[in-house]
Amino acid sequence: MAASTATATVPGLTVQELDELYKFAVQLGKDAGDKLMEDAKARWGGGSGSNNHSQQEMREKENAVDIVTKTDEEVEAFIKGRIFDRYPDHEFIGEETYSAGSSRQYLVSSSTTTLPTWIVDPLDGTVNYTHNFPMFCVSIGIVVCSVPIIGVIYAPFTDQLFTSCKGKGAWLNETQSLPLVKGAPLPESAPKGCIFSCEWGKDRRDIKDGNMHRKVESFVNMAAEVGGREGKGGMVHGVRSLGSATLDLAYTAMGAFDIWWEGGCWEWIHPPMTPTAYTLWKQASKDVAAGIAILLEAGGLVTTANPPENWETAEVQDVGLGSRLYLAIRPAGDTDKVTKRQAQERVVREVWKRVRELDYARPGA
């Protein structure tokens, strides 16, 4: 790896190297997404509307978990192979990196190495993928010294490509800069007027004051009329659930979602994990590296989902990868009264006021 030059914006990379890395990552995202789509289409019938023999056979042989596991592994191997061909000295974190029984410490170190680390989720939105609902994607993030510098998210079924590179902006389909509407202020009465994005997740235990019930209580607080819920009613403009944390982040970067609240989905699972636990854990530990890279480059804010005790006055800290409890606010514009950061922090507090702390812990934390 060449030493940094005076014009480099990322430690350890020249401007030209960063350009090349970005271009390479974008093409890789497109190619990997195309592979996801090919695999999906192989399960579909043809245009005739008639039954398809090989399809029926496939249905009998494969269940939903098999489909995802096979595609996950194949597309990850494809991505990993391409990266190591071109950048043999880079680090790589993917699904397989967290293999069953291994330590699941968070792997992106804040060490002084300036070698880029690739953080790859070959398939986010796995439930959507098995059901052929378009909200699935490939997610490729590149981190240097713990800072996300490149993000590539490609949703092939809708042909939507979200990309960013530190200092070069965030983009939809490489031509439309993000957010779509520049400088749009956050609503003064937020969360009223906001689209609130959230996910039901996998923890469906019907335990009194358990995570599912805390989540639902939080959703209802955000949705209820102003004045309702003992003053917690937020009357958001809409509640959306797509089933893909990566696309939630992408649409927040785009400005379409004002607020994304993801109460984390880590569960403490002791090794060695059963296959079921491992599957759950893999689904729960999806990467957000690319999404956060794109959101930050677009001007969004990411902080913790769990409200601090002193939520009215606590510092709104930017959180990095691995926190696993995310609250994202869309890019915003300054107004005559407040800066964009002040407006975003105000919305953060309005969300903290209404949501419950969830009880997930990062393995090893």
Which of 184, 269, 280, 338 touches its own copies (CB under 8 A)?
A: 184
Peptide bond preceding 179: is omega within 30 degrees of 0, i.e. cis?
Answer: yes
Question: Residue 116: helix, strand or coil by DSSP?
Answer: coil
Which of 117, 160, 285, 306 touches its own copies (CB under 8 A)?
A: 160
By beta-carbon proximity to its own copies, the closer residue of 33 and 116 is 33
**How far apart, in whole angstroms, are the C-alpha atoms of residue 71 and residue 77?**
10
121 annotated to a ligand binding site:
yes
**Cβ contact 224:235 at 8 Å:** yes
Residue 249 within binding range of its own copies, rule CB under 8 A: no
Applying CB under 8 A, the span of 254-262, 286-294, 321-329, 352-360 interacting with its own copies comes to 254-262
Which of 16, 19, 44, 167 touches its own copies (CB under 8 A)?
A: 44
**Cβ contact 300:328 at 8 Å:** yes
Tell me the closest approach of the beta carbon of residue 131 to its own copies, in angstroms: 5
How large is the C-alpha radius of gyration of the chain?
21
Neighbours of 51 (CB within 10 A): 9
Tell me the closest approach of the beta carbon of residue 333 to its own copies, in angstroms: 8
Applying CB under 8 A, the span of 47-55, 98-106, 267-275, 318-326 interacting with its own copies comes to 47-55
Which of 45, 167, 271, 364 touches its own copies (CB under 8 A)?
A: 45
Which of 23, 70, 86, 204 touches its own copies (CB under 8 A)?
A: 204
- Burial class of residue 22 (count of CB atoms within 10 Å of its CB; 0-12, 13-18, 19+): buried
Residue 200 within binding range of its own copies, rule CB under 8 A: yes
Tell me how far apart the 2 most distant CA atoms of the chain are, in Å.
Answer: 65
Tell me the closest approach of the beta carbon of residue 40 to its own copies, in angstroms: 9
By beta-carbon proximity to its own copies, the closer residue of 143 and 294 is 294
Applying CB under 8 A, the span of 29-37, 92-100, 139-147, 197-205 interacting with its own copies comes to 197-205
Residue 240 within binding range of its own copies, rule CB under 8 A: yes
Residue 86 within binding range of its own copies, rule CB under 8 A: no
Which of 32, 138, 195, 358 touches its own copies (CB under 8 A)?
A: 195
Of residues 187, 204, 201, 294, the one with CA closest to residue 238: 187
What H or E segment, with its residue span, contains residue 73?
helix 64-86
CA distances from 64 to 70, 195, 200, 296 (A): 10, 31, 19, 34
**How far apart, in whole angstroms, are the C-alpha atoms of residue 77 and residue 69?**
12
Of residues 44, 41, 120, the one with CA closest to residue 75: 120
Question: Residue 192: helix, strand or coil by DSSP?
Answer: strand
By beta-carbon proximity to its own copies, the closer residue of 93 and 222 is 222
Tell me the closest approach of the beta carbon of residue 257 to its own copies, in angstroms: 7
- Burial class of residue 337 (count of CB atoms within 10 Å of its CB; 0-12, 13-18, 19+): exposed
By beta-carbon proximity to its own copies, the closer residue of 84 and 200 is 200
By beta-carbon proximity to its own copies, the closer residue of 55 and 342 is 55
Known binding-site residue numbers for Mg(2+) = 95, 121, 123-124, 287
Known binding-site residue numbers = 95, 121, 123-124, 287
